[in-house]
Amino acid sequence: MSRKLVAEFFGTFWLVLGGCGSAVLAAAFPEVGIGLLGVSLAFGLTVLTMAFAIGHISGCHLNPAVTCGLVAAGRFRAGEALPYIAAQVIGASAGAFLLYAIASGQPGWDIAAKGLAANGYGEASPGKFGFASGFLTEVVMTFFFLMVILGATSARAPAGFAPIAIGLCLTLIHLISIPVTNTSVNPARSTGPAFVLGGVALQQLWLFWVAPIIGGVVGGLLHRWLSAEETADALDRAAAAASARVAEPESLAPMPAREPR
């Protein structure tokens, strides 16, 4: 468990440093700014790279909404959810503080003016979208994120391609929703910058916990229902194999090898 939590810490640290860092340090850099497309791609790449790096250790959740969605889908133990979420929030906060330390080294950089890629609605929204738009966007985007994650990691999905599908899905989500909320779909990603910034970002943080978790849980429950037949088939095959082993006549069992005289 300790290895899983350390993996989640560093994975979420990388998500905030890479994704939010691209927005803070490179999005509008003179003459070579990467813009909205670059920031969207950066967030997708952080998940894609970490999925290959730590997916075999912790499952690479990096996101409390994903963890809750996997619990709802029956793909993760509920007893491990809170430690995972704690590791994710701590990792995201550490990434945000490091990003602040780097960004503040630029002459004239002002955190109040530049921000830290925090999420928000109303006046804190990049496009000045209101509360209802922000809430709906976060619920729907997280819902589809969970659907892609669960489908791509299904036993029937092509093996080895899940990180690519998940990373590209997160890129698409950012392309759609950066103007609305600066894109969260991840309570830990929202918490790190909000802790550093305080003010409005911290006051509005509750939405970026509630909406993504609702979307994640609904996505997990729906996928569980959609894949119920697949789960039943797998259980039937396992039961049939077990019955065949029990019913196998002793005469068909391999004879022990005799020692040479």
97-147 pLDDT per residue, tens: 999 999 999 888 888 888 899 999 999 999 999 999 999 999 999 999 999
Residue with tokens 């340090």: 25
- Residues 6+ positions from 189 with CB-CB distance below 8 Å: 12, 15, 16, 19, 20, 63, 92, 119
- What number is the average pLDDT over the span 181-202? 95
Q: CA 184, CA 68: separation in Å to the nearest integer? A: 15
The tokens for 97 are 């503080």
224-241 pLDDT per residue, tens: 999 886 655 554 555 555
| Kind plus residue range of the DSSP H or E element containing 214 | helix 207-226
Closest alpha carbon to 168 in 60, 58, 259, 40: 40
- What number is the average pLDDT over the span 59-73? 96
Q: CA 147, CA 216: separation in Å to the nearest integer? A: 9
- Residues 6+ positions from 227 with CB-CB distance below 8 Å: 150, 154
Q: CA 124, CA 119: separation in Å to the nearest integer? A: 7
Query: With 0-12 CB in 10 A as exposed, 13-18 as middle and 19+ as buried, what is 56?
Result: exposed
Specify the pTM: 0.84
**Residue 114: predicted pLDDT:** 82
